[in-house]
Amino acid sequence: MRHVQLPQRVQGEPAISVVIAVGDHEDSIGHVIRSAAAHLGRLGLPFEILAVNTGSSDNSFSIANILAGSLPELRVLGRESAGRPFLRGSSEARGEVIVLLDAGKPASWAPLGWALSRIAAGRDAVVLRGRYVVARRMAALPVIVRASGPGLLFEAVFERRAQELGIDVVGSRPRRPMPLLLRPVLRFLAA
């Protein structure tokens, strides 16, 4: 895998901070954290992973704390973040580039190298719809302050509010199913 050039960092400081919003995801949180760490390790960039509590009531944070014992790049922010996990994680992140990910969504790490190359080329943010947002932390913080909501809702609001930034948007969102009450009306109108 080719090495992505990002601005030089002080020795020991992460270049990338992955902020993972963790709700009730005990079945997947271990895999999400380990796969993020493995992929970033293969890219050869110093990184940190911040697991941020979005109101988890299961064993997700117990699992994250166990992983933190063997993964020094992982910081667990267990105190509930009042529905603003990306704001809390971005505020406590040390990397110049952040990756905002909801643990409840499947994360394909394959496009991350490309997104980082777009950031290195001068873009402020890359929205990989349905996956995650990659952004320059300081440029994106004002947008993150104004955007809220879980998962796809956060992503859509971030995309709309980040129009003043240089952003790339990749992919499409899944279509919402049509309400059952509307289907007969539309069939009648189409006939």
Residue 118 phi/psi, 5° resolution?
Answer: -70, -40
Does 80 score more than 70 pLDDT?
Answer: yes
**What is the residue-averaged pLDDT of the chain?**
84
Q: Of 14-23, 62-71, 105-114, 119-128, which range is least confident?
A: 105-114
Exposed e or buried b per residue across 9-20, where buried means at least 16 C-beta atoms within 10 angstroms of its C-beta: eeeeebbbbbbb
Instruction: Pull the structure tokens for residue 105.
Output: 């969504």
For residue 61, which of 100, 22, 102 has the smallest C-alpha distance? 22
95, 137 in Cβ contact below 8 A? yes
Q: Residue 14's pLDDT band (boundaries 50, 70, 90)?
A: very high
Give this prediction's pTM. 0.82
The H or E element containing residue 16 is strand 16-22
98-150 pLDDT, tens digit each: 999 998 887 789 899 999 999 999 999 998 888 899 999 999 999 998 886 65
165, 140 in Cβ contact below 8 A? yes
Does 86 score more than 80 pLDDT?
Answer: yes
Distance CA 190, CA 93 (A): 53
Sheet holding 132-136, edge to edge: 74-77, 47-53, 16-22, 97-102, 132-136, 125-128, 167-170
Does 20 score more than 70 pLDDT?
Answer: yes
- In the chain, the domains with their CATH numbers are 16-172 (3.90.550.10)
Unique residue bearing structure tokens 């601005």: 7
List C-alpha distances in Å: 66 to 21, 23, 27, 49, 104.
Answer: 17, 17, 14, 14, 19
What percent of the chain is modeled with pLDDT above 70? 81
Q: Residue 83's pLDDT band (boundaries 50, 70, 90)?
A: confident
pLDDT value at residue 9: 47
List C-alpha distances in Å: 61 to 25, 114, 136, 145.
Answer: 9, 31, 27, 25
138-168 pLDDT, tens digit each: 999 999 988 866 555 788 888 888 888 888 8
Does 173 score more than 70 pLDDT?
Answer: no
Distance CA 77, CA 61 (A): 9
